[in-house]
Amino acid sequence: MLRIASRGSELALWQANHVASLLEEETEVVVVSTAGDRNRDVPISAIGGRGVFTKEVQAAVLDGRADLAVHSAKDLPSAPELQPEGLVLACVPERADPRDALVGSTLDALAPGATVATGSVRRRAQLADRRPDLTFTELRGNMDTRVSKVPEGGAVVVALAALQRLGWEDRIAEVLPTTVVLPQVGQGALAVECRADDDVTRDALRRIEHGDSRRCVDAERSWLAALGGGCDLPAGAHCTPDGRVRAVLASFDGRIVLRDEIDGFDGATLAERMLDGGGRHLLAEAGVVR
């Protein structure tokens, strides 16, 4: 039996069970509470960034309570120094649609000054670039909580894949094209970790690896790792299966938005080019030392 560590939200359990179905082996889901789940009223950037949804789940694998961990790839830190020793990113199954979606209203239908709820500075900065008249408010909680908090006359922004996985396509007002809002690194993909020395589990996970999805996620993660930032920065990237990597780095108010793209799955080179083109100044303003 393979034991799968997962957060306890409806979406996280869907993801764990999806991986279980792909494995076609006897499995058991081990539910783990994370800092991100316990502090739903605090902005993610204020409680530690991406690691708040992964550390305790990873610990369950490292201490032997579980054999593998299923994460939303967007929650997994990209910087090598933040990756726990003893774990390996064993596989990325086939990716879902990485785009963001609006619930409540389309972007063009929002009246001047309308409120958009989102806990993501990446989404805020890009939407402010497109619609500087909009007002933004914080949004945390599980998916059910978030989609129930549509401001009057406004909208909330969530990951399209999350809505699709929960069967909530009827709540989608608009799917935001990547030309308007680039997604978070790894969005729509699952990242499955196991112990580096667990050959049996690694072999099982190797069978459900999706090559195109893995190459794209690796390229996006290499961009963010080279950038030196996390999810508290207004930063996003998207790689297509043909190797085209497009990325955005912005100021928190959306007044400065740097966009660039490159071929060849080369996220690291793209990051260096964007840093040289003004990115270092934006990172310094955000308090990121590089």
Q: Which residues are catalytic?
A: 75
Residue with tokens 């690796």: 218
Contact 161, 98 (CB under 8 A): yes
Copy the structure tokens of residue 137: 């408010």
Instruction: Collapse the DSSP code of 154 into the 3-class scheme (helix H, G, I; strand E, B; otherwise coil) and give the result.
Output: coil
Angle between helices 267-274 and 211-227 (to 10 degrees): 30
155-159 sheet: strands from edge to edge: 135-137, 115-117, 155-159, 100-103, 174-176
**C-alpha 259: how far from its chain's center?**
19
Instruction: Collapse the DSSP code of 164 into the 3-class scheme (helix H, G, I; strand E, B; otherwise coil) and give the result.
Output: helix
Q: Which helix (H) or strand (E) holds 19?
A: helix 10-23
CA distances to 100, 224, 262 from 103, rounded to whole Å, are 10, 28, 32
CA distance 228 to 282: 12
Main-chain phi, psi angles of 3, to 5 degrees: -95, 125
CA distance 101 to 59: 32
